[in-house]
Amino acid sequence: MKESQQLPIFVYGSLKVGKHNHSLYLEGKVKGGAKKGRIKASLYDLPYKGYPAVISDENNMSWVYGEVYNLIDFEETITALDNLENYYGQSSFNNEYVREINAAEVWNADSNKYDLLEVFVYFYCEKKDVKFLELATHIKEGSWPKSE
């Protein structure tokens, strides 16, 4: 992966509009508003941590719904997001999440269809989480929190 690529970011948890991290990390730092998007993956709630996790799971891939943003100052904002997500570089052992390039479908209101787009997504490193298998809850609906 080219770390220096400046792609839009796909968010699915606390960074979405109205959630607690949106105003801290994205408000005023994006071009235009949130675009509705979705990716093929599995979404989990981590109630013992208070936030969700997306897993790239080839066996149980469903839609995960979120928002896509184009960042104004890419380097500054992506550095802050990397810190929030505990991402220290592609091969770091200390990563809680890994930022990867992924295909997303982004809703185009003009054409009334989804457009395919490459985005950055933070995928959870579930193999390092000893509580994951016991306490994480799969969200089949693909939207966090479940009540949405």
Digit-coded pLDDT (tens) for 35-65: 999 999 999 999 999 999 999 877 767 999 9
Q: Does residue 2 lie within any of the structural domains?
A: no
Whether 4 is in a domain gets the answer no
How far, in Å, CA of 103 to CA of 19, rounded? 24
What pTM was computed for the model? Answer: 0.93
Q: What is the pLDDT at residue 3?
A: 53
Domain annotation covers residue 126: yes
Res. 1: pLDDT tops 50:
no
The gap from C-alpha 70 to its chain's centroid, in whole angstroms, comes to: 13
Q: What is the DSSP letter of 29?
A: S
Per-residue model confidence as pLDDT tens digits over 86-111: 999 988 999 999 999 999 999 999 99
| Total structural domains within the chain | 1
Q: Is the Cα torsion angle 100, 3, 12, 85 positive or negative in sign?
A: positive
Does residue 85 sit within a domain?
yes
Return the CATH number at 82.
3.10.490.10
* Domain membership flag for residue 33: yes
Q: Please give the pLDDT value at position 46.
A: 97
Per-residue pLDDT at 59? 72
Residue 146 lies in a domain: no
What is the residue range of 78's domain?
Answer: 9-138
Spatial distance between the Cα atoms of 92 and 7, rounded to a whole number of angstroms: 21
Nearest alpha carbon to residue 77 among 125, 118, 28? 28
